[in-house]
Amino acid sequence: MTVKMQLARIIISELTENQVIYLQEEDGEREFPILIGIFEATNIDRRVKEEYQPPRPLTHDLIVSVAKTLGATVESVTISDLNQSTYFAKLQLRKADGELVEIDSRPSDAIAVAVTFSPPLPIYVSESVLDEATSAL
């Protein structure tokens, strides 16, 4: 089972290598942090705060463009696993024939893809990951 989440906060600090994004349960109070890189944090932050259009496609734009060119639609992202403090994610794409396929992704890249859309794509977290992530806080 998955829980629908929303991007709650983005914390960017030039003093540390890791940046932090917080996902919060849409219909609840649970939230948890995910450490990400500066490139992904900056891109997510720009997309959320303003209608930023880079002069050239970024990796996340490329993913969306490739899916569209191949006749697929990116539908959602899921944070699917947590193993030794590392989160794992999947992009859900619907092919032209209706088949749903899942593509492995880093959570930061998956969330960056989600916020590339307006409105952003749904972000889900598996219940087991949410339980483990919030119990550690």
Continuous segment of H or E residues that includes residue 62? helix 59-69
DSSP reduced 3-state for 104: strand
Cα angle at 118 between 123 and 39, to 5 degrees? 70
Structure tokens that stand for 115 in this block: 């916020």
pTM: predicted TM-score of the whole model, two decimal places: 0.92
| pLDDT value of residue 16 | 86
Q: Per the structure, how many domains does the chain have? A: 1
The residues facing 7 across adjacent strands are 23
Note the pLDDT tens digit of each residue in 3-25: 999 999 999 998 888 899 999 99
Q: What is the rounded distance in angstroms from the CA atom of residue 91 to the CA atom of residue 114?
A: 9
Query: How far is Cα 21 from Cα 86, in angstroms, rounded to an integer?
Result: 14
Give the pLDDT confidence score for residue 6 in this predicted structure.
Answer: 96
Question: Which pLDDT does position 58 carry in this prediction?
Answer: 85
Report the CATH number that the domain containing residue 117 is assigned in CATH.
3.10.690.10
How many distinct helices (H) and strands (E) make up the chain?
4, 7
How far apart are alpha carbons 17 and 19 in whole angstroms? 7
Segments forming the whole domain that contains residue 13: 2-135
Q: How big is the chain by its Cα radius of gyration, in Å? A: 15
For 55-110, the pLDDT digits (tens) are 888 888 899 999 999 999 999 999 999 999 999 999 999 999 999 999 999 999 99
